[in-house]
């Protein structure tokens, strides 16, 4: 079973998720927006890389306002979160596995 979030906190545009199996991970909100997993954002990233989508998310990324904020965040079943950003974008479904990959330890 995938580790589950046990606590979420948002402070100074950094999302912190405490996971059931380890220390909390931190997420810069602009980085979350840049790594949106929706089809539109994935296509944009692929086009900027000349047709190559990297699994590691390396290379040119989406142009995102560094002050972008999270307006709302809701669970999707027991496997993901949907995030509404201040730029109006809300189509990405962030799986727990994807969030674990994106997170940075303290």
Nearest Cα to 69, choosing from 8, 14, 5? 14
- With vertex at residue 97, the alpha carbon angle to CA 67 and CA 27, rounded to the nearest 5 degrees, is 20
Q: In which domain, by residue range, is 60 found?
A: 5-105
Q: What was the pLDDT predicted at 1?
A: 56
CATH code, domain with 76: 3.30.2020.30
pLDDT tens digits in sequence order for the chain, 106 residues long: 578 999 999 999 999 999 999 899 999 999 999 999 999 999 988 887 665 554 444 445 788 999 999 999 999 999 999 999 999 999 999 999 999 999 999 8
Q: Would you state the pLDDT for residue 106?
A: 83
Give me the number of domains the chain comprises: 1
Place of tokens 């809300």: 90
Query: What are the C-alpha distances in Å from 2 to residues 37, 46, 96, 97?
Result: 19, 28, 8, 7
Residues 6+ apart with CB under 8 A from 63: none
pTM of the predicted structure, to 2 decimals: 0.85
Instruction: Give whole-number Cα distances, 82 to 33, 46, 75, in Å.
Output: 11, 22, 6
């Amino acid at each position: 079973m995938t580790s589950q979030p046990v606590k979420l906190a948002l402070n100074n545009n950094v999302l912190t998720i405490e996971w059931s199996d380890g220390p909390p991970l931190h997420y810069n909100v602009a980085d979350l927006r840049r790594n949106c997993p929706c089809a539109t954002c994935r296509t944009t990233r692929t086009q900027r890389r000349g047709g190559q989508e990297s699994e590691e998310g390396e290379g040119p990324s989406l142009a995102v306002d560094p002050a972008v904020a999270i307006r709302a965040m809701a669970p999707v079943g027991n496997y993901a979160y949907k995030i509404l950003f201040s730029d109006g974008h809300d189509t990405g479904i962030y799986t727990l596995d994807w969030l674990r990959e994106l997170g940075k330890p303290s």
